[in-house]
Every structure is written in structure tokens, then in C-alpha cells.
Structure 1
């Protein structure tokens, strides 16, 4: 069983189209992770100020 899995892995690894598809998939996943982190960082900047208690006001006043 392990021999057939090794043979399949070697065949897939030697296929340039397969390798390019895997690289593209990993790039898309990495882009999603970076985008999510950027959104999280922006949300943190817009969060409540340190030392301030209670809910933030939505009328533009601080």
C-alpha cells in the first residue's frame, strides 16, 4: 500500500501542471491569510481606546 502511495506522489510531483496548480493553491491560501490579518489589524485600530470604559459612541463624539 505504501509503495503505491509513494509511486503516486512521485508521479504527481514530476507533473509540471500539477506542481503549478499546487503552488497557485498555496498562494491563494496565503493571500487569504494575509487579507484576514489586515482586516483584523484595521478592526483593532478602530476599536475602543485604551482606558476608556463603556460602549463606544456612534454619534461621532468621543
Structure 2
């Protein structure tokens, strides 16, 4: 289990939304709230999330290191 702080990357300019999921996470905890892969959130929002490496999904989030 890893903890990361990141910012949502623009996923679709037409709707101005970011896709919150990870190339290595199908169980993501966002601000202590569990969300499923494909959950959408406004772009530009900084998020802190936890994930386990179990997913086949490959979407993007920008991670601050």
C-alpha cells in the first residue's frame, strides 16, 4: 500500500474533468473516502490517495514527489 499526493490531470477538455484512478490502483482512497476506478473529479484539484497494485486499468494522475 502506498500513499501519494497528486493533482488531477485533464482527461476530457469538453467536460473539463479528470479521471481519478491509477495504472496500479483499482482500490483508491481519496480523502479517506473509497472511490472506484473511473470516478471523475474537477481538474486542478490536489488529492491525497492510497492505492494497492492490483489493477489492469491505466489512466493518469499527476503525482507530486
Quick check: TM above 0.5? no
Q: Give the structure-1-normalised TM-score.
A: 0.23
Q: Which has the higher contact order (CA 8 A, sep 6+)?
A: 2
Q: Give the structure-2-normalised TM-score.
A: 0.22
